[in-house]
Amino acid sequence: MTTSTQPGTSPVRQSRLTRGQRPKGLVPVIGVAAIVAGAALAALVGFSIALWALFATVIFLVVGPLAVGMIEGSRAGADSLMTFLVYAAFILAVIPLISVIWTVLANGIPGLTSNMLFTSMNGVTGFHDNQADAPSQVMGGAYHAIIGTVSITFWATLMSVPVGLLTAIYLVEYSRGGWLGKAITFFVDVMTGIPSIVAGLFAAALFGMIFGPSTRTGFVAAVALTVLMIPTVVKNTEEMLRIVPNELREASYALGVRKWRTILKVVIPTAISGIASGVTLAIARVIGETAPLLVTAGFATAINWNSFSGWMTTLPTFIYYQIMTPTSPTNPDPSLQRAWAAALILIVIVMLLNLVARLIARAFAPKTAGR
């Protein structure tokens, strides 16, 4: 320990262990400076968000390791380079997400009117759009599409989650590397990569052979989405079940608990958080599908509460038609407003599903000493 005294100041104690170390706020300061400098350089070239992010990232990656190397030495500078690369990768990954959310919020919030949320497009024509002078005057909304999305997703989840969960339980707890387990794993891997339109054509062909070639209902769309959801549920659930320690199973067996009850009371509650996240991921993967729904559920402008009869509209197909075929070709702004508002509603539904999944996982997770 050494003591240094400067004129007009009190003695300052410095430890040899803290000499030559970078200040704690160095990285945030460099980040802010890189953002400011990146904005200035982008303005000189022709400002855009992409150029701003690119210049700021390059400055951050160059200046950061150099500053650390000047303070702590070349070895610390080389080591910090990897740390700054991780920071930069995180920033580049978050920028598109923030950009998408910001764009949807900026364009979707003005369209979230009572007409958008509680009325359908039944009877709305180009005449009504031509008469609208403000966002609040736009007639017609996505109420029928919201109902269709919730209904079709509900049936798809109801069919896919039990099948996927039981399949994963068989693969982890019962297959023991047998030929059936290997075959199931192979087909699940194949199903994971099939295009969504193939699932829609499969469901349309299946129900077309049974009920006629023109059969299009919400339940047919739910079957198509089930084909897409099952592989995701199986893979995520399987991974979560495999990370459950075998000691928990063995302790349960040692107490004389049967295998099915051990799985139900020990294994699944331990992995419920990951399982719920996997189910939410599967729902989020299919809730935005458009192609399979166009060939299975059709498109309607009126409200349809019955998933087993009549055409149904979902939010993705509603967005697609509002953009591709505006209600008023001479005045597409009201249709674009509806499309952006529907996109915002879709994002909110996915966020609510994530919240519900977390609440379910928290409710069913095994209690610990700290809870």
Lowest mean pLDDT, pick from 124-133, 147-156, 231-240, 291-300: 124-133
pLDDT (0 to 100) of residue 288: 86
Question: What is the torsional sign of CA 84, 90, 93, 95?
Answer: negative
Is 80 exceeded by the pLDDT of residue 55? Answer: yes
User: Residue 88 has what pLDDT?
Assistant: 77
Alpha-carbon distances of 86 from 57, 90, 91, 293, rounded to whole Å: 11, 6, 9, 39
Average pLDDT, the chain: 85
DSSP for 178-196, please give it: -HHHHHHHHHHHHHHTS-H
247, 206 in Cβ contact below 8 A?
no
CB within 8 Å of 365: residues ≥ 6 apart: 269, 270, 272, 273
More confident residue, 219 or 298: 219
pLDDT of residue 2: 47
Tens digits of residue pLDDT in 322-367: 999 898 888 888 899 999 999 999 999 988 888 888 887 777 766 6
pLDDT higher than 60, residue 62: yes
The region of weakest confidence among 153-157, 177-181, 229-233, 313-317 is 177-181
pLDDT score recorded for residue 183: 92
* DSSP string over 272-313: HHHHHHHHHHHHHHHHT--HHHHHHT---SS----TTSS---
Dig out the tokens for 271 from the structure.
Answer: 């992995």
Percent of the chain at pLDDT > 70 equals 92
pLDDT score recorded for residue 1:
46
pLDDT digits (tens, 9 = 90+) for 172-189: 989 887 888 899 999 998
Q: Tell me: pLDDT of 35 over 90.
A: no
Question: What is the reported pLDDT for 9?
Answer: 47
The count of other CB atoms within 10 Å of the CB of residue 223 is: 24
